Amino acid sequence: MAKRQVQTTKIDGKRVRIVTTTGANGTRVQVTEAEPKEWELQAAQVRALRGMPEYGKQFLLAGDQNSAKRGPRAQMEASAAGMTPGEADMRIYIAGGQLRMIENKVGRGRLSPAQVDRHAALARMGFTVDVLRAVTTEDAAHQAVALVRGWLAENDNQSGQGQPRCSSTACA
């Protein structure tokens, strides 16, 4: 029976995945480019979305990193301040008072149990979390831009003009 070991490391500044298989026919080593980390997908999306001409006029965004590794004290502080396990990676605020959310997964990565629970709770309140899956930062950015453009077009069709509704002088 073959024994397989997988390791991700950096070589010449690039993340690579090394797969070593040892079996009856000897040892085989395969080195491939590693998939990006989830935060890298999100960072590419943020750059692309902020670069859209509609940004700041028709939509804004806010990102979270609820799954970031923290020590016990930092975790306690984050929880006390309202950080919620399972919360979506990005919130998109659309003119007219709409909230849309994006969750990122690398490849076939699964939602955590906290994400499944949180997304279901949000759905019960009428909010949808769109899960985008990508294996490159370019694809993640492209998907996010396409999704937001779709939301903006939908918003324009619903409101007729796509103009924000204001209840104060903040929009004047």
Q: What is the pTM of this model?
A: 0.77
The CATH code of the domain at 38-166 is 3.40.1350.10
Higher pLDDT, 169 or 22: 22
Domain ranges of the chain: 3-33, 38-166
Q: What is the pLDDT of residue 25?
A: 86
Q: What is the spatial distance between Cα 109 and Cα 112, in angstroms, rounded to a whole number? A: 9
**pLDDT tens for each residue of 140-161:** 999 999 999 999 999 888 765 4
CA distance 152 to 135: 25
